[in-house]
C-alpha cells in the first residue's frame, strides 16, 4: 500500500527536479552563511528527572522535543545523530542522550532519517511505547521494538493519563529506494485523557513535517490547542520544497489556522536539509510576525535545552520578549 496526501497534486518531486535543484544549489550555497548557531541553555536536568506533574516543553533540536504531559515523559522524532548523510550537525542537542530522563512514550511523525534515527531510539532510557503512523509498525518491530502502536489519521490511543491523536500533514516518506510512501506521515495532538484534568494539562500540537495545506484548518476545528510546535526551516528553494515544507510565513498561517495560543518553532538549526540558513528562517518568522501585528509573547523561540514550563491558564514562564 502507498499512502497519499489530501491534495493529490502534492507529490514527491521527480528526479529531473532533483537534478535541477542540485545545479541551482551549487551557485546559491556559495553566498550562504551557516556560521550562526542556535543558542543553547544549560538544561534543568534535576528538575526534568523529578518532575511528574507540571507540563513542560524542552527543545532538544530539529524536531526532537522532550514533552512532559500528564506525568509522562514523551519524546518526539528522536534524532541525536551527529551527522545526516555527509553533513555534520550544525548545533549540538540541547540535552545529551545519556542525560535524558526515562521515556514513557515516543512519537514518530514519519520515517525520514532526520526524524527517525534508529540508534537514538534504541538508546533512549525507559521502556517507551512507540506511537507510529500507519504502515510503520512492522519495521519497528523487525528492529526489535516490542511496544509499538500504529495510528491512521484522526485515530487516537490513550496511554496513562494522556490521549494521543494522529493528525494529517502534507509530506511524504522514504528510507530506501523501494519504500516510497509505504508508511504515512502526520502530527500529534496531546491532551488529557480525563475531562477533570483539562484545567491542569494543556493541549499540545506537534506538527511533524508538512507543507501548507487545508488540513491545518481541520485540525483547528477539532481541537482547542494551547501550544503548537511548528516547523519553519528547510523551505528553500520554495519551488522544490513547497509541497513538503512550510515557509516561516506559512508556518504562521498554519498557527492561525489551528488556533493555538503559543507558537514554538522547530525544524531549523540542526541540519542543512535545504538552502535556507537557520538565521534566515528566524528573521523571516519575525518579519512576518511584525507584519501581521502578532503579539511577541505568542512566539516562543526556545534556546536548545531550555525548558518551557506551562501553567494551567496556558501561560508560560517565558519573559515578554518571547524567549528570543
211's CB contacts (< 8 A; 6+ apart) are 10, 170, 171, 241, 242, 243, 244, 245, 246, 250
Residues 133 and 108: beta-carbon distance below 8 Å: yes
Of 172, 130, 171, 170, nearest to 151 by C-alpha is 130
Residue 8 confidence (pLDDT) = 85
Of 164, 70, 75, nearest to 124 by C-alpha is 75
Instruction: Kindly give the parts of the chain with pLDDT less than 70.
Output: 312-324
Q: State the sign of the Cα–Cα–Cα–Cα dihedral 65, 257, 114, 279.
A: negative
Distance (Å, whole) CA 186 – CA 223:
15
Of 38, 86, 33, 85, nearest to 61 by C-alpha is 38
Residues 188 and 230: beta-carbon distance below 8 Å: no
Residues 238 and 247: beta-carbon distance below 8 Å: yes
**CATH entry, 39-309, from 3.60.15.30, 3.30.70.380, 3.60.15.10, 3.30.110.30:** 3.60.15.10
Kindly provide the b/e burial profile for residues 180-206, where b requires at least 16 CB atoms within 10 angstroms of the residue's own CB. Answer: ebbbbbbbbbbbbbeeeeeeebbbbbb
Ranges of each domain in the chain: 39-309
Angle of the 248-258 helix axis to the 215-222 helix axis, nearest 10 = 30
Q: Note the pLDDT tens digit of each residue in 117-147.
A: 999 999 999 999 999 999 999 999 999 999 9
Burial bucket for residue 176 (CB in 10 Å: 0-12, 13-18, 19+):
exposed
Residue 174 burial (CB count, 10 A): 16
**What does pTM read for this prediction?**
0.94
Residue 319 confidence (pLDDT) = 43
Residue 311 confidence (pLDDT) = 74
Q: Where are the alpha helices (DSSP H) in 165-312?
A: 215-222, 238-241, 248-258, 278-292
129's CB contacts (< 8 A; 6+ apart) are 104, 105, 106, 147, 148, 149, 159
Distance (Å, whole) CA 252 – CA 233:
12
User: In which residue are the cell numbers 534556546 written?
Assistant: 303
Residue 18 confidence (pLDDT) = 86
Dig out the grid coordinates for 286 from the structure.
519575525
Of 93, 97, 99, nearest to 63 by C-alpha is 93
Dig out the grid coordinates for 101 from the structure.
530522563
Amino acid at each position: 500500500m502507498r499512502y497519499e496526501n489530501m491534495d493529490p497534486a502534492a507529490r514527491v518531486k521527480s528526479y529531473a527536479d532533483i537534478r535541477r535543484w542540485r545545479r541551482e544549489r551549487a551557485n546559491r550555497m556559495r553566498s550562504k552563511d551557516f556560521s550562526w548557531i542556535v543558542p543553547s541553555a544549560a538544561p534543568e536536568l534535576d528538575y526534568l528527572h523529578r518532575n511528574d506533574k507540571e507540563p513542560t516543553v524542552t527543545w532538544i533540536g530539529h524536531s526532537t522535543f522532550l514533552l512532559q504531559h500528564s506525568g509522562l515523559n514523551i519524546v518526539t522524532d528522536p534524532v541525536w545523530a551527529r551527522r545526516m548523510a555527509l553533513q555534520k550537525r550544525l548545533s549540538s542537542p540541547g540535552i545529551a542522550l545519556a542525560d535524558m530522563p526515562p521515556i514513557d512514550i515516543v512519537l514518530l511523525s514519519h520515517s525520514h532519517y532526520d526524524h527517525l534515527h534508529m540508534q537514538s531510539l534504541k538508546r533512549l532510557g525507559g521502556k517507551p511505547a512507540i506511537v507510529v503512523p500507519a504502515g510503520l509498525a512492522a519495521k519497528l518491530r523487525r528492529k526489535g521494538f516490542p511496544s509499538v502502536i500504529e495510528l491512521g489519521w484522526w485515530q487516537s490511543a490513550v496511554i496513562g493519563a494522556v490521549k494521543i491523536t494522529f493528525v494529517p500533514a502534507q509530506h511524504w516518506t522514504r528510507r530506501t529506494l523501494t519504500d516510497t510512501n509505504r508508511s504515512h506521515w502526520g502530527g500529534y495532538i496531546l491532551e488529557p485523557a480525563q475531562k477533570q484534568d483539562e484545567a491542569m494539562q494543556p493541549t499540545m500540537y506537534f506538527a511533524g513535517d508538512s507543507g501548507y495545506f487545508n488540513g491545518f484548518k481541520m485540525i483547528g476545528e477539532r481541537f482547542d490547542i494551547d501550544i503548537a510546535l511548528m516547523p519553519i526551516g528547510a523551505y528553500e528553494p520554495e519551488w522544490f520544497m513547497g509541497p513538503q515544507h512550510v515557509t516561516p510565513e506559512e508556518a504562521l498561517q498554519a498557527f492561525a489556522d489551528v488556533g493555538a495560543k503559543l507558537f514554538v518553532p522547530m525544524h531549523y538549526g540542526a541540519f542543512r536539509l535545504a538552502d535556507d540558513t537557520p538565521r534566515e528562517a528566524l528573521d523571516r518568522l519575525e518579519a512576518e510576525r511584525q507584519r501581521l501585528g502578532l503579539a511577541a509573547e505568542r512566539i516562543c523561540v526556545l534556546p536548545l535545552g531550555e525548558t518551557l514550563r506551562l501553567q494551567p491558564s496556558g501561560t508560560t514562564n517565558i519573559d515578554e520578549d518571547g524567549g528570543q
